Chains A and B, each alone.
Chain A
Amino acid sequence: MSATVLYTVLSLTGIGLLAAVVLYYVSKKFQVTEDERIARVEAVLPNTNCGGCGQPGCHAFAEAVVKSGDLSALHCPVGGNPVMKQVAEVLGVKAVEKDPYIAVVRCSGSFEYRKKTNVYDGAPSCAIAAQLYSGDTGCAYGCLGMGDCVVACDFEAMYMDEKTGLPVIIEDKCTACNACVKSCPKDILELWPKGKKNQRIYVACLNEEKGSTARKECAVACSGCAKCAEACRYEAITIDHNLATIDPDKCKLCAECIDTCDVRNIVATNFSPEKLQQASEHRQKREERERRKREEEKAQATANNNPEPTV
């Protein structure tokens, strides 16, 4: 009896030792040496694995930055500049500052403004509805309202507003990871520079129909009337396919265009009402000056063309 126990213990110990030796040599022989900086970079990253940087995950991002050693093309949108600064410190290179972005909803067609013309009865997914037909309202460009973007968001930074039927972005939580942008079949969501003092201006409409048609489909659709483009001093607003688009790189956030829009569809985020009022007055004064100047010039021109007859 005791002999059996002894043999068992001895043989198992023997096998254990042998295995330990084999494993030791195998681990030495086939050791994969990873650049230890990868682990250090990964430690400072947010580790959300959202894919917003374009890499499959945070580890892949760490590998990519260590491999390239250059931070101009690689940027973690979730961590933003502070995290990229830490990454730069780990690698001993110069940090590249990038303006933070945020997702914006480029549709204002709430239930109130955009009436339903039919009832969608398919699977509750925007992607599926979008390939079946142009949507349950007259507008073929607007939000379908089934919230594929909310499902795609990993940061709980979005919700569907039940009153308007449109998605809302929670400013503090949005990391500009691009997941919602990719999920939207109508391209309603767009990454926009977060802007100085968190202020930004954009046109919340994508309807490219002719003005009259667009307004029939949605009461607040952009008709491409170009009043905003005329008011802009920086040529930041272009009209293309009956639709006004603001170029965020050119926009100086002067907010003078806001009240030129008949349907108030130029969204100005985080502007105080006083500032908007001021901007409006400023614009009106400027236009008044320009108008007077034009009239004077015209009068001058008429005077020059018809010189008074000399006697």
Chain B
Amino acid sequence: MKNRAFDKELKTFRLGGVHPQDNKLSASAPLAQLPLPKQVTIPIIQHIGAPAKVVVQRGDTVKVGQVIAQHEGFISSNIHASCSGRIGIIEEVMDSSGFKHLAVNIRVKGDDWLETIDRTDTLVEEISLSRDEIVARVMEAGVVGMGGAGFPSHAKIKVPEGKTIDTLIINGVECEPYLTADHRLMLEKPREIIVGVRILMRALGVSRAIIGIEDNKHDAIELFDEWLREDKQIEVQPLEVQYPQGGEKQLIQAVLDREVPSGRLPADVGVIVHNVGTTFAIYEAVQKNKPLVERVVTVTGKDVKQPSNFWVRIGTPVIELITAAGGLPESTGKVVSGGPMMGKAIADLEVPVAKGTSGILMIAQAETKRAEEYNCVHCGKCIEACPMGLEPYRLLLLSKAGQSEKSKRENVLDCIECGSCSFVCPSNRPILDYIRLSKTKVKKLK
């Protein structure tokens, strides 16, 4: 008989980390379907890699799940119509990145899905596809990392030559305050996620998988533990609550006590990490032949009337989600796409939900306004907080002085942009802003 998850010691990563208030206001709100919007705007770049190539024309009629933009190369991703209707204008629009990108507009009419897609809720446990077929199916379905980075998933499940993977880690940490999208998904679709894990294990050829879940999600840990009681290959690992545990490198350190060397990938230490949202999308792609056309988005904030978790079609304007959650509170200072730590304020409420949008957060002006900046007092708190072992205060100074070569020597590219340094700084210095600038410049050096 295997150890129960609650008997296990809580693990966490060794270096740095902070404890922001978790404010998971929407944790008890069940997943609800957002009504179909009148129109969706689907950016053709929602992933890392080459933009997809548009294959539809204005005036075409499309069904849900139909490819509207084809991937270009292996590190790229298909984009599908998330609603049925008529293709509208194809032009550059502002998306949640804050820049204009080419996007396809669809005037929604009905909800007409491609016949090949299995839309029933029945659980399909039997995995009939081979490794290569799984990769091809995931690629076809346009699944990308749904934790926010947006790296094409098919590229991550194809084991690179010369590397052996021994463990698959499923990221159910959701360490960002406020967000509950992954949490709700784990509570409501545990068996589908477990099948997704098995699919990933088959594709990667590994016999061991660990689902890492933070201790503030007791119910999810319990649920997975219950379903996995007889399973010898998959286990649940409860983790201490600490930010940024959901970072790939932090999670690997927490779960397996392995350190990914600077400039290397998890595959170099024999690990692949996938998010639970991605795992669910992979389950649907492989078992149900359903492309990534919708995702769970948390809509929350302290003054929001009904903090909720919605199933949202990709391309839905953010304003629709806000309206469905009770409207924009008057106190709102910023609307953030993503969580409060790593998310990005959006400049326009019409921006579409993308594959990587995990939450829409409305923060009150009083809470979000940047406080006055003071001089560095060399307290060292940022160094203590940095989970990558960098010296953020120094990187800030180097960035201000434009010393890119020195920043590179200080390993500025290792920064995962978690924002812990800015969070703890008693002088309110915009450390991360300058580090990001420095990273851009260092990347140009090469």
Contacts and interface: CB of A to CB of B under 8 A. Distances in A.
B434 A123 contact: yes
Contact of B97 (A117, A121, A133, A140): A133
B26 to A, nearest CB: 25
A127 B437 contact: yes
Interface string B406-434: 00000000000000000000000010011
Interface in B339-386: 344-345, 347-348, 368-370
Contacts of A136: 347
A118 B98 CA distance: 11
B334 A131 contact: no
A15 B431 CA distance: 54
Contacts of A125: 433-434, 437
A121 B369 contact: yes
A4 B368 CA distance: 75
Contacts of B187: none
Contacts of B345: 121
Contact of B347 (A123, A128, A133): A133
B348 A118 contact: yes
A133 B97 CA distance: 7
A47 interface: no
A199 B132 CA distance: 68
Contacts of A132: 98, 344, 433
Interface in A112-152: 117-118, 121-123, 125, 127-128, 131-134, 136, 140
Which of A123, A128, A136 has the most B CB atoms < 10 Å from its CB? A123
B58 to A, nearest CB: 16
Contacts of A117: 347-348
Given A118-B347, A140-B100, A131 B370 contact: no
Contact of B100 (A122, A131, A134): A134
Interface string B98-131: 1110000000000000000000000000000000
A240 to B, nearest CB: 17
A123 B433 contact: yes
Interface residues of B, number: 19
A125 to B, nearest CB: 7
A169 B436 CA distance: 30
Nearest to B441: A127
A91 B433 CA distance: 48
B440 interface: yes
Main secondary structure of the interface of A (DSSP, over half): loop
Interface in B42-101: 94, 97-100
Contacts of B430: 122-123, 128
Given A121-B370, A140-B99, A131 B347 contact: no
Contacts of B434: 123, 125, 128
Main secondary structure of the interface of B (DSSP, over half): mixed
Contacts of A131: 436-437, 440
A140 B440 CA distance: 19
Contacts of A133: 97-99, 344, 347
Nearest to A136: B347
Nearest to A210: B91
A122 B347 contact: no
Contacts of A128: 430, 433-434, 436-437
Contacts of B433: 122-123, 125, 128, 132
Contacts of B369: 121
B370 to A, nearest CB: 5
Nearest to A121: B370
Contacts of B348: 117-118
Which of B99, B100, B347, B369 has the most A CB atoms < 10 Å from its CB? B347
Nearest to A137: B347
Given A128-B434, A133-B347, A122 B99 contact: no
B99 A121 contact: no
A131 B369 CA distance: 20
Interface in B173-211: none
Contacts of B94: 134
A134 B436 contact: no
Contacts of B97: 133
A139 to B, nearest CB: 11
Nearest to B97: A133
Nearest to A118: B347
Contacts of B334: 121
B312 to A, nearest CB: 22
B190 to A, nearest CB: 38
Contact of B99 (A118, A123, A127, A134): A134
B98 A121 contact: no
Contact of B98 (A123, A127, A134): A134
A84 B99 CA distance: 45
Contacts of B98: 132-134
A123 B347 CA distance: 16
Interface in B237-290: none
A121 B436 CA distance: 16
A123 B422 CA distance: 12
A121 B98 CA distance: 14
B319 to A, nearest CB: 14
Contacts of A123: 430, 433-434
A102 B248 CA distance: 50
B353 to A, nearest CB: 17
A140 to B, nearest CB: 6
Interface in A212-242: none
A193 to B, nearest CB: 29
Interface string A258-282: 0000000000000000000000000
Nearest to B400: A125
A144 to B, nearest CB: 13
Contacts of A127: 437
A212 to B, nearest CB: 12
Nearest to B345: A121
A161 B345 CA distance: 28
Nearest to B92: A209
Contacts of B344: 132-133
Nearest to A129: B433
Given A121-B334, A131-B436, 5 more contacts: A117-B348, A121-B345, A122-B430, A125-B434, A134-B100
16 contacts: A118-B347, A121-B345, A121-B368, A122-B370, A122-B430, A123-B434, A125-B433, A125-B437, A128-B430, A128-B434, A128-B437, A132-B98, A132-B344, A133-B97, A133-B347, A134-B347
The 8 nearest A-B residue pairs measured at CB: A133-B98, A123-B430, A123-B433, A118-B347, A128-B433, A134-B99, A121-B370, A128-B437
Interface of B: 94, 97-100, 334, 344-345, 347-348, 368-370, 430, 433-434, 436-437, 440
